[in-house]
Amino acid sequence: RGLVTISKLQEMRQAGEKIAVLTAYDASFTALMDQAGIDVILIGDSLGNVVQGESSTIPVTLEHMVYHTSCVAKGQESAFLIADMPFGSYSTPEQAMLNAAELMRAGAHMVKLEGGAWLAQTVKFLVERSVPVSAHLGLLPQSVHTIGGFKVQGKSTESAQMLINDAKALQEAGAQLLVLEAIPSELGKKVTDAIQIPTIGIGAGPDCSGQVLVMHDMLGAFPGRSPKFVKNFLSGQSSIEAAFKSYIQEVKTGKFPGPEHCFKST
């Protein structure tokens, strides 16, 4: 298959073809999920949790992200690669640009930042300098200590409206993708309808343009407690490749996420 590009993802959104995304951190799993037909691979700072054994993503450094991005890039054939910018690495537009350049040199095709309209200037600065950007709204794991835990976001009318405004501002600034984490399904749909760029949900309901899960979670390979939006795709399958194929198929057909993986407003 050919390279997955940002224009291909935009076309998929327009055509209503669901985008299947998984995280990966090394070359071997990347090759397996790429051959299974995954559209996008996210080198998530969730590696802090699933690779490093930390209880949050805050200890993850740019050096860690660059290392894992280069590992993933070695296994990539067709999938579009997004690398997370870690905690504290995008505090100013200039700092973000220098750090994003490192991730692009390591093989990323896009970088992802967590935050709302306050990041618009930084997004614009990066996009003007040819760094494609994915925004990330809803539950922001890098903000766990300002939130006071890992909690569902956008449940009140006011916070839901603020999230929609943030999504519009980030799209306006040039973001070409938007990850939505842990919000009511109804809000996932509203945000998706309010913007033109693809939305990728994790606990954001079935109406996003695509879905993402952390690889260890969907293989049942994370020893800790899993959030509600996680489904084990290895159970019932006889190989990891089959689990990846099953995930891709369930995302494409809309079977995943089911109501049991979703959050409600009230």
**Interface with ligand KIV (CB under 6 A), residue from 25, 65, 83, 84:** 84
Q: How far apart are CA 181 and CA 2, in angstroms?
A: 29
Q: Which residue in this structure is represented by tokens 């699933």?
A: 50
For 111-131, b where at least 16 C-beta lie within 10 A, e where not — what string? bbbbbbbebbebbbbbeeeeb
217 contributes a contact to ligand KIV by CB under 6 A:
no
Q: Say which of 181, 241, 250, 260 is annotated catalytic.
A: 181
Amino acid code (one letter) for 136: H
**Residues whose CB falls within 8 Å of the CB of residue 225, separated by 6 or more in sequence, listed in order:** none
- Which CB sits closer to ligand KIV, 115 or 158? 115
Examine the residue annotation and report whether 181 is marked as an active-site residue of this protein.
Answer: yes
**Interface with ligand KIV (CB under 6 A), residue from 44, 86, 188, 257:** 44
Nearest approach, Cβ of residue 45 and Na ion (Å):
4
The mark string for 16-35 relative to ligand KIV (x by CB under 6 A, - otherwise) is -------x------------
Q: How far apart are CA 197 and CA 211, in angstroms?
A: 14
217 contributes a contact to Na ion by CB under 5 A:
no
Nearest approach, Cβ of residue 192 and ligand KIV (Å):
16
Q: How far apart are CA 161 and CA 152, in angstroms?
A: 15
Residues that bind ligand KIV (CB under 6 A): 23, 42, 44-46, 84, 179, 181, 202, 212, 214
> Annotated active-site positions, please?
181
